[in-house]
Amino acid sequence: MVKAKRKPLEEIADAISAYGKVLTVGCGGCVSVCLAGGQREVQELNAELELTLKEKGTSKTLGNYTVERQCNMDLLQEMDDMVGGYDCILSMACGAGVQLMAERYPNIPVFPAVNTVFIGVDRDIGMYEEKCRACGECVLAYTGGICPVTRCAKGLFNGPCGGTNNGKCEVSQEIPCAWLDIYERLKGQGRLDDILKLQGVMQWQNQLQRTVVQPKFEKRYYK
């Protein structure tokens, strides 16, 4: 799932400083699960903002609401009757949610309250690890299920590089060499031949905004 981390309070307070009525909107999806922007975090943020404003001797009207998913227009539209009463929206969703919110309400400034960090896994409650950079060309089949784009500091497709040192990366002795891990995994599976296959240059697709249409829906969307 998408993982996010709340922005520093000062940055959020600065973003909404010019507005009197602020609606903080949480998302019931990924950011709830990673404890960054769900209903509980919305209430916590508003409480912290209220305290900060009080310390500065000012006040604002702080509303709060949580939609089930900010990245879905059908679920977002329930806010239509609500947003008119506010000067700006503080979205606690991921970047996708913030943008859909801004698209839905183009006349109201929408500010992000979290930094969207990565696609990752839950290691424990409150602890998440990056696993995927959504490069659009998955190579996990030949790397033993270990992503070199995410794990290797250089994102090498044909590693390791000369900087690998006793199983660690030259960038830091704290970072395990992804390509050593790939080697060990493939060796354990008797698939070392895979590492010898030279992989071509990736056609990076993330320079332009991407859209995914599943094959069976192509007739519907491509006339």
Contacts with other proteins by CB under 8 A lie at: 1, 28, 32-35, 38-40, 66, 68-69, 72, 74-75, 78, 125-126
**For residues 91 and 12, is the Cβ–Cβ distance under 8 A?**
no
Q: Which two structure tokens, joined as six digits, stand for 133?
A: 């950079």
Residue with tokens 């190579």: 139
- Pick between residue 37 and residue 144 the one whose CB is nearest to other proteins: 37
* Rounded Cα gap, residues 68 and 66, in angstroms: 7
| Min dist. Cβ of residue 34 to other proteins (A) | 8
- Pick between residue 29 and residue 112 the one whose CB is nearest to other proteins: 29
- Pick between residue 127 and residue 134 the one whose CB is nearest to other proteins: 127
| Min dist. Cβ of residue 28 to other proteins (A) | 7
| Min dist. Cβ of residue 74 to other proteins (A) | 6
- Pick between residue 216 and residue 223 the one whose CB is nearest to other proteins: 216
Cα–Cα distances in angstroms (integers) from residue 129 to residues 120, 123, 155, in the given order: 5, 7, 17
**For residues 180 and 143, is the Cβ–Cβ distance under 8 A?**
no
| Min dist. Cβ of residue 30 to other proteins (A) | 9
**For residues 149 and 133, is the Cβ–Cβ distance under 8 A?**
yes
